[in-house]
Amino acid sequence: MRGTVAALLRKELLVELRTLESVPAMSLFAVTTFVVFHFALNRGSVEGDLGAGVLWVTLLFAAILGVNRLFVADAEQGGFDGFMLAPVDATAMLLAKMATLLCYLIALELVAVPAFALLLLGPSLGPSLPGLIGVLALGDLGVAAIGTLVAALAVRTRARDLLGPLLGLPLLVPIVIGGARATSPLLTLAHSAPSARWLVTLGLYDLVFGLIAYALFDFLLED
């Protein structure tokens, strides 16, 4: 199992490195969105609630771009067929795709968070960076679990580019609630710590949707 997941993950990352299909687009999208927010809000800097909202909305929509592309190559170029022929557990594919999406999100945040700090954020990011990394990690886990499930649901439908975001966004709302509420005290001048309540909520949500994805993914791979 572990070997299968590692092999699949290696394949995914290799494909991404050679085609550069998702991560550059996601990062560029995030930076562009910050510019759009600057003009739309007509503000030079944001902080607190507003800052957390801008950051999470941007990350969420950029993540949706990656989610939409996640299974496209498998559906169009026979990746699913190849996987079905191999004598391995379907869960391996789920875990590999979740890990792939997690890598994409981390790469996205490595670009988007510094860009956000440079372009829009009023208070300095330094003191609250460890807290922010923790909150983002919890959020990313949830986005990876839900994103993989939604991507697998939407990829073999006629209107996949449309259905992916439509299905995904309502499911991701609780992550935005938890993430944004936990982030907003970090982005103030006081740099206060996020309340543990939101971290627990995020963690529980990740856990539940991880289990749901695990239980249901097999049914999406049957043909």
Partner 1 sequence: MYGKRLRPLSIATIAAMALALALVFFYAPLDAEQGFLQKIFYVHVPLAIAALGGFVLGAVLAIAHLRTRDPRWDMRSYVAIHMSLIFAVGALITGSIWAKGSWGHWWVWNEPTLVSFLIVFLLYATYQPLRFAIEDPERQARYASVFAVTAGAFVPMNFIAVRLSTAYLHPRVLGSTSNLPGPMALTFVVSLLAIVLLYATLCTYELTAKHTRAQVRALRRRVLGETPEQEGRRPRSAAPTTAPGAAIGAEAAGRAL
| Interaction site with partner 1 (CB under 8 A) | 149, 153-154, 156-160, 162-163, 166-167, 169-171, 173-174, 177-178, 181, 197-198, 201, 205, 208, 212, 215-216, 219-220, 222-223
Cα dihedral sign, 117-123-124-127: negative
Nearer CB in complex with partner 1: 123/178: 178
The nearest distance, CB 159 to partner 1, in angstroms, is: 5
The nearest distance, CB 17 to partner 1, in angstroms, is: 31
Burial class of residue 203, CB neighbours in 10 A (0-12, 13-18, 19+)? middle
Q: Are 68 and 164 in contact (CB under 8 A)?
A: yes
Nearer CB in complex with partner 1: 22/201: 201
Nearer CB in complex with partner 1: 88/221: 221
Nearer CB in complex with partner 1: 38/160: 160
The nearest distance, CB 95 to partner 1, in angstroms, is: 18
- CA–CA gap between residue 34 and residue 22 (Å, rounded): 19
Q: Are 155 and 182 in contact (CB under 8 A)?
A: no
Q: Are 188 and 61 in contact (CB under 8 A)?
A: no
